[in-house]
Chains A and B, each alone.
Chain A
Amino acid sequence: MKKMIAADELAKLWIRLAEKSTLFLPVQDGPTVLYQPWKDGAQVELEAFNSAISPKDIFLPREETYLHYHCSGQSLELAAVEDDRAVTAFGIHPCDLKAIEMLDRVFMEQEPADSLYQKRREKTTVVALSCTKPDPFCFCGIFDVDPLDAPGADVMAHLVDGYMHLEARTEKGKALLEEAGDLLENSTIDKIEREIKTTDFGLDIKGLPEDLKSRFDDPAWDELYKSCLSCGVCTYVCPTCYCFDVEDYGHDAEGERFRCWDSCMFGHFTQMAGGHNPRPSRKERVRQRFMHKLQYYPEVYNEIACVGCGRCLRSCPVNLDIVQAIKALGGEKVEHR
């Protein structure tokens, strides 16, 4: 099913989709663009590259309350917090959707599946949007991301000459287009052709995961970490980082239990009761993060856990990003070394 709508009519589509679902869109929030629930008057920035934080927030929210507790005397009452409202994730770029599929493997393809994640994933319809003018930080090309197509999308959208073209690819996607049927016309284009240029930094990542298997004690780690500030920026903006913590908010008698993002770059991430810390310094923590992306994840799932979205390149306060790491570890074409 292929439909289209004039770009200046899109506000009508937002209103329609927000009637029956929580509609996430990239919106301008102060000086940043973030995926947030759409509200009337929100400034939607579909062509912003890239949102400050990845849309993983929709599936693995930075904070997710799942339990209320209430104690009185000897009794303890627990109530699950559930939200059955459907979600529409609109305007997800191909790199970010590929990253979400990487999270799927971690949260849903292992036994037991993570029920909170699975529920969010199942109730969400993803409308992916092909890229128009990627920013200078984009380097998705080396990770086999096609900026013009997101294979896992429920609906694949393209902005072309003042129109948004929408192609339903799943039952969920079809239902979404039918929901807005009266706002849409039949699409007039068959194939999208557009040249998208992204940089490759001269990287050559072939064989890197295998190569790194024996390089836990490589001298490169002794240098790479030095500029790291031990903040959590890279992990929080990254679309493929997924560590979380569980904590309570409230007091002894009443409160809620939530899970929230955590970061392996924090010193206390691996702090044990009794004081021992297996990753005592920045060196071990930086190594952990990059090894996770470049070796541990690929070892299990046969794919490097990076999609080239460029957020760490843009946001790391000291420019210690994954490209620098790959280069330091020898993942560069011979002529670039």
Chain B
Amino acid sequence: MAERNLEQLEKIREAVSQDLLSGRIELLLGWEKGHYWWQSRPLFASSEGDLARLTWDSFCAVNLSRYLLDELKDHQKVGVLVKGCDSRAFNRLLQDNMVQRDRVILYGLPCPGILDYNLLAAEAGSKLKGITEENGQVILKTEDGEIEVNRDEMLMVKCSECLYPDPVVYDQMLLEPLGQKEVPERFKAVNELEALSSEERFAYWEKELSRCLRCYACRQACPYCSCRECFVEQENPRWQGRAYQPSENFLFHLVRAYHGAGRCIDCGECQRACPVNIPLQELNRKLIKDINELYGDYEAGVDAEKEPPLLTYRPDDPAAFSEK
């Protein structure tokens, strides 16, 4: 990780520190290392000293675009490092009128996908001390020696069906683009769930959602959940109760998913944020698939000029519910 990206990191730091020093931006949203080599956390850099902590490696999972909602209140101009998904998140916020394009400088970082520590640790067997990467392989350094694994198999679920590793919107591309990615079987988990009977599917979701703590991490990490007041917190009328009943679990997750229909950029931050590993991305991916089938191919957040299908009306739109 660090070894592979040292050169890239220098390039990134040089570009952003120029802009920070010249006043082109007042704040840079990036990543710094956490306590562990497999954790990179958000960095809010407003000085050269802060930038010394900047990192760019295979663990920069956190989508930084969402922080613009708060940081643009305090700063006139903010720079953000964006991966492919983060750039689509920016477009999402732009389309929702939550950010202003001219107050943000986007620095593009093509991303080969974020590695999942749990997968790496499981593969390692014994204690995993670190990794290096080369030519699409990850070399695990374990207590019992080195193990080589295919990088694509170690990706987080959130990255498993990524079609856009390169940022789709940016002011400055800082690294060499990777090109559009091939996904062997898109909607794999969705297809498997669709093959079940509706009873089986209900039982599946009832069980998965039974772990939900209603901590709302999925919502808080999500770039399409940018409502100033969520229906969950509304008091009058009160939509969402706090009981841990299946009906309340379904209410929250299904309303949220439908709210994201045609707007979800499939960044998978919801699933990554979930402390009890509920496969939330499958709900969102099902809606992406349905939207594509009903209204023609549409990838949310790829083109900020293209209206989301459910925010427009065409006389020939399918009306499946009214047809018998």
Between-chain CB contacts (< 8 Å), 6 pairs: A30-B211, A52-B276, A62-B213, A233-B275, A247-B242, A260-B244
Given A32-B211, A236-B215, A315-B275, the answer on whether A229 and B35 have CB atoms closer than 8 Å is no
The answer to whether A318 has its CB under 8 Å from any CB of chain B is: yes
- B12 shortest CB reach to chain A, Å: 19
Measured CA separation A258–B36 after assembly (Å): 40
Q: Which of B96-104, B143-151, B216-224, B293-301 contacts A (4 or more CB under 8 A)?
A: B216-224
The answer to whether A286 has its CB under 8 Å from any CB of chain B is: no
- B101 shortest CB reach to chain A, Å: 23
- A199 shortest CB reach to chain B, Å: 8
Measured CA separation A101–B62 after assembly (Å): 35
Measured CA separation A269–B165 after assembly (Å): 39
Measured CA separation A94–B196 after assembly (Å): 43
- Interface of chain B residues 229 through 282 with chain A (CB within 8 A): 233, 241-245, 269, 272-273, 275-277
Measured CA separation A249–B207 after assembly (Å): 21
Q: Which residues of A contact B (CB under 8 A)?
A: 29-32, 34, 52-53, 62-63, 136, 201, 223, 226-227, 229-233, 235-237, 245, 247, 249, 258, 260-261, 263, 266-268, 282, 313, 315, 317-321, 323-324
- A291 shortest CB reach to chain B, Å: 21
Closest A-chain residue to B66, C-beta based? A229
The answer to whether B208 has its CB under 8 Å from any CB of chain A is: yes
Neighbouring B residues of A30 by C-beta, 8 Å: 207-208, 211, 277
Contact of B41 among A136, A261, A320 (CB under 8 A): A320
Contact, CB under 8 Å: A53 / B213: yes
Contact, CB under 8 Å: A227 / B41: yes
Contact, CB under 8 Å: B220 / A230: yes
Contact, CB under 8 Å: A263 / B244: no
Neighbouring B residues of A249 by C-beta, 8 Å: 241, 243, 245
Contact of B221 among A229, A247, A321 (CB under 8 A): A229
Measured CA separation A260–B215 after assembly (Å): 12
Q: Which of A30, A235, A237, A319 counts the most B-chain CB atoms under 10 A from its CB?
A: A319
Q: A52-B277, A226-B44, A315-B275 are known contacts; what are 4 more A-B pairs with Cβ within 8 Å? A: A232-B215, A317-B221, A318-B42, A319-B39
The answer to whether B34 has its CB under 8 Å from any CB of chain A is: yes
- A16 shortest CB reach to chain B, Å: 27
Measured CA separation A237–B273 after assembly (Å): 13
- B61 shortest CB reach to chain A, Å: 9
- A282 shortest CB reach to chain B, Å: 8
Measured CA separation A34–B275 after assembly (Å): 11
- A29 shortest CB reach to chain B, Å: 6
Measured CA separation A102–B276 after assembly (Å): 25
Measured CA separation A229–B234 after assembly (Å): 19
Neighbouring A residues of B277 by C-beta, 8 Å: 30-32, 52
Contact, CB under 8 Å: B216 / A232: yes
Measured CA separation A16–B216 after assembly (Å): 39
Neighbouring B residues of A268 by C-beta, 8 Å: 233
Contact of B272 among A260, A261, A317 (CB under 8 A): A317
Contact, CB under 8 Å: A53 / B276: yes
Measured CA separation A52–B67 after assembly (Å): 27
Contact of A258 among B34, B233, B243 (CB under 8 A): B243
- A63 shortest CB reach to chain B, Å: 4
Measured CA separation A288–B314 after assembly (Å): 51
- A32 shortest CB reach to chain B, Å: 5
Contact of B275 among A236, A319, A321 (CB under 8 A): A236
Neighbouring B residues of A223 by C-beta, 8 Å: 44
Measured CA separation A247–B62 after assembly (Å): 34
Measured CA separation A315–B277 after assembly (Å): 10
Contact, CB under 8 Å: A63 / B39: no
Measured CA separation A247–B35 after assembly (Å): 39
Given A63-B244, A136-B36, the answer on whether A231 and B42 have CB atoms closer than 8 Å is no
Contact, CB under 8 Å: A319 / B208: no
Contact, CB under 8 Å: A317 / B233: no
Contact, CB under 8 Å: B217 / A233: yes
Neighbouring A residues of B272 by C-beta, 8 Å: 317
Neighbouring A residues of B214 by C-beta, 8 Å: 232
Measured CA separation A30–B213 after assembly (Å): 15
Measured CA separation A274–B235 after assembly (Å): 12
Contact, CB under 8 Å: A317 / B42: no
Measured CA separation A232–B217 after assembly (Å): 7
Closest B-chain residue to A321, C-beta based? B35
Neighbouring A residues of B34 by C-beta, 8 Å: 319, 324
Contact, CB under 8 Å: A260 / B273: no
Contact of A231 among B36, B70, B217 (CB under 8 A): B217
Closest B-chain residue to A273, C-beta based? B235
Closest B-chain residue to A52, C-beta based? B276
- A62 shortest CB reach to chain B, Å: 6
Neighbouring B residues of A233 by C-beta, 8 Å: 215, 217, 273, 275
- A65 shortest CB reach to chain B, Å: 9
- Interface of chain B residues 161 through 213 with chain A (CB within 8 A): 207-208, 211, 213
Measured CA separation A315–B272 after assembly (Å): 9
Contact, CB under 8 Å: A263 / B215: yes
Given A53-B213, A263-B215, A324-B35, the answer on whether A247 and B241 have CB atoms closer than 8 Å is yes
Neighbouring A residues of B67 by C-beta, 8 Å: 226-227
Neighbouring B residues of A245 by C-beta, 8 Å: 242
Measured CA separation A268–B242 after assembly (Å): 13
- B121 shortest CB reach to chain A, Å: 9
Neighbouring A residues of B70 by C-beta, 8 Å: 282
Neighbouring B residues of A34 by C-beta, 8 Å: 211, 276
Measured CA separation A304–B67 after assembly (Å): 31
Q: Which of A63, A247, A249, A318 counts the most B-chain CB atoms under 10 A from its CB?
A: A318
